[in-house]
Amino acid sequence: MLPLVADLSPSIEPSKRKERARQIGEIINQSDYHIVVLQEAFYRPARKIITKLTRANFPYRYGPVNYKQGIKTSSGVWILSRIPLEKLGCVRFNECGGADCYARKGAGLYKGSWNNKDFQILGTHILADGKRWQRETQFVHIRRELLDRYLEEGVAQIICGDMNTRMSYDDAYRFMLETLGAEDHKVNTEQPSTIPCEPIQSHRKSEENLICIDYIFHRNNNSGIRIIEKNIVSFIANPQIAVKKFHGTLSDHLAVEITIEL
């Protein structure tokens, strides 16, 4: 079995980023995950802290995708792994909007092996501030330049990331899955949300307020992959560095966790 997790890392007050990075690093190091796909890992000092704390158990690190010195930052997609991965390819999106224009948003595809069975894993962070057609163009880009280009019969492809596409928006959600050629296994909650807002705390069930935009998809590719379990997980922060408006979670999005059998 191969546990995976995505989206543990977004924003917090600059003065508390290092302490927050320490807590994230400790959680990862103590976990039983095999691969961790982080989002918005822009802050280099934080990455150094997490690297130091996880080096023994997660010796392999990839990215951040599209990292390059300059005015613009990387994509923020950063992968930590217990097992070695091979980089197959990466893309940089041309579309941007708002603050996203300061990042080199894109996606990276990697290949690994577990129990003598190959798999591929992709990390991405889709445009947040732009138009729907721009996000849809990015899904097409991922499909053509990475998923289809490196497709291997019998090799599953796992797609992780913040897709900035609500599950409750049927047309956009359906377009995303159809374009990626992917399946979305249901999580073990009645109405999933990766944004830890007040409705979760009060157990209200409004789809308008329960927002799921972070996912782990899979493309079977006749691999026989089996989803054992999929959850949305909240990592609680020390009160001194908690993101208060999100009720003490360590990040502004909750993590998506999946266990698969290849």
pTM of the model: 0.90
pLDDT tens per residue across span 174-186: 999 999 999 999 8
pLDDT at residue 35 in the model: 95
pLDDT at 188 over 90: no
pLDDT at 123 over 70: yes
**For all residues of the chain together, what is the average pLDDT?**
85
106 — pLDDT class (breaks 50, 70, 90)? very high
pLDDT at 208 over 70: no
DSSP the chain: -EEEEE-------GGGHHHHHHHHHHHHHHS--SEEEES----HHHHHHHHHHHTTT--EEE--TT--SSSSB----EEEESS--EEEEEEE-S---GGGGGB--EEEEEEEEETTEEEEEEEEE--SSS-HHHHHHHHHHHIIIIITTT--TT-EEEEEEE----TT-HHHHHHHHHHHT-B-PPPSSSS--SS--HHHHHT---TTT----EEEEEE-TTS--EEEEEEEE-PBPPTTT--GGGTTBSSSS-EEEEEEE-
pLDDT at 8 over 60: no
- Select the more confidently predicted residue: 68 or 51: 51
Homologous superfamily of 2-261? Endonuclease/exonuclease/phosphatase (3.60.10.10)
pLDDT at residue 122 in the model: 97
pLDDT tens per residue across span 111-122: 999 999 999 999
pLDDT at residue 241 in the model: 56
2 — pLDDT class (breaks 50, 70, 90)? low
pLDDT at residue 3 in the model: 63
pLDDT at 7 over 80: no
pLDDT at 202 over 50: no
pLDDT tens per residue across span 234-249: 887 776 655 554 456 7
Mean pLDDT of 53-58: 96
In the chain, what are the domain boundaries?
Answer: 2-261
